[in-house]
Amino acid sequence: MRSGAKEVLPLPVDGDKVLACYEAFLPGFRQAAPKPIRGGRKGTKPGNIFLAAATPGIVAVGADLHATLLPMQPQSPNIVIEQRVEDFYNGLEVNYFGLLKIRLNGKKIDFNWQAKMLFCYLAYHSTKALSRDHLARVFWPEKQESQPESARRSLNVELNHIRKAIRQQTGMERELIVFDKNCYRLQLEGPILSDVATFKGLCQKIQLLQRDGQPVPDELFQQAIKTYSSNFLDDCPEDALNWVEVERQHLGALFEQMADLYSAQLCDKGEYYRATSVCHEILTRDQRMEAIHRRLMFCYGKLGMCNKVGQQYRLLCQIMEREFQSKPSAETTRLYQQIKKECE
């Protein structure tokens, strides 16, 4: 209650009012069955337990305990959070940023690596019909060149693995991958939900607003940066699949463009402290973005943090040497020298 709940419910709190508050502020909340509390403080007694996920610092409250705070028990079997099936998307969900995650009707699907990349490719290009030869060239290019029949057999093996895994892990008997007119495609009843589609949609909104000369709300930039949680398909090694590398570079460049625009917008408004925070968050996605390092140096200079400017420049030099065996661009070096001179 120290976290501010007293502004919602006056103390002491009646148990019925607590329950009513939870039902009002937490849609789908349900009251757990009464269970005895073990290991509580002296004077506590069994009561109906409510999960308190909305307010930091509150673990649980008892309906008949007048909001007594209970000690944290991470391994206690008494506190149970149930995930309702109806909350899941009834269709295919794919998260491409970071490690690939695939869910079908709310159930996570696991494949071997090759089958996972093949299913990922089919989902990513779900609007297209993909021929056998095309898929064989993408995943077994050398084999397709010298032994096309062997490449086709490899394709069939992975497709069978995908179908079997879906049946075993979801119980779905309907074929998700169909073969029609010598092409493969996913047969879905609804659209695919994906983080890449969300990210591209946000970037498109930002670009349209800029093209029309309209201000871009900070929230749009923030959503785009949050959605791009990591690089495209981090669990696919570099140069393992050409199409992954091409898309990874394309999305990375798009993210860098959005990051540069947002940090520039904050600087234009004189919000330098906030801009530094955003730049640091962006660099957790990809520390090789020289434009963001340059923006950080600029912000530190405006804030009079001359030592931070030097630290950031030296860090960038180390990253450039390690990743590209090169030095920062002339533009970055000029900015550093200019700020350094102003700080003297």
Among the listed residues 222, 233, 299, the one whose alpha carbon sits nearest the alpha carbon of residue 261: 222
Among the listed residues 269, 342, 262, 317, the one whose alpha carbon sits nearest the alpha carbon of residue 295: 262
pLDDT exceeds 60 at position 262: yes
Residues in the chain, total: 344
How confident is the model at residue 14, as a pLDDT? 52
Among the listed residues 221, 199, 331, the one whose alpha carbon sits nearest the alpha carbon of residue 267: 221
How confident is the model at residue 84, as a pLDDT? 44
How confident is the model at residue 164, as a pLDDT? 95
Please state, in angstroms and rounded to a whole number, the distance separating the CA atoms of residues 91 and 103: 8
Please state, in angstroms and rounded to a whole number, the distance separating the CA atoms of residues 69 and 49: 11
Structural domain boundaries in the chain: 1-82, 88-191, 194-343
The string of pLDDT tens digits covering residues 97-106 is: 999 999 999 9
The string of pLDDT tens digits covering residues 10-62 is: 455 555 544 444 444 444 444 444 444 444 444 444 444 333 333 333 333 44
Give burial (CB, 10 Å; 0-12/13-18/19+) of 18.
Answer: buried
Please give the average per-residue pLDDT across 2-10, as a whole number: 43
The string of pLDDT tens digits covering residues 175-202 is: 999 999 889 999 988 899 999 999 999 9
Please state, in angstroms and rounded to a whole number, the distance separating the CA atoms of residues 280 and 185: 41
Mean pLDDT for the chain? 81
Please give the class, per CATH, of domain 194-343.
mainly alpha
Please give the class, per CATH, of domain 88-191.
mainly alpha
pTM metric for this prediction: 0.72
Backbone angles phi, psi at 153, to 5 degrees: -65, -40
The string of pLDDT tens digits covering residues 328-341 is: 999 999 999 999 99
How confident is the model at residue 13, as a pLDDT? 52
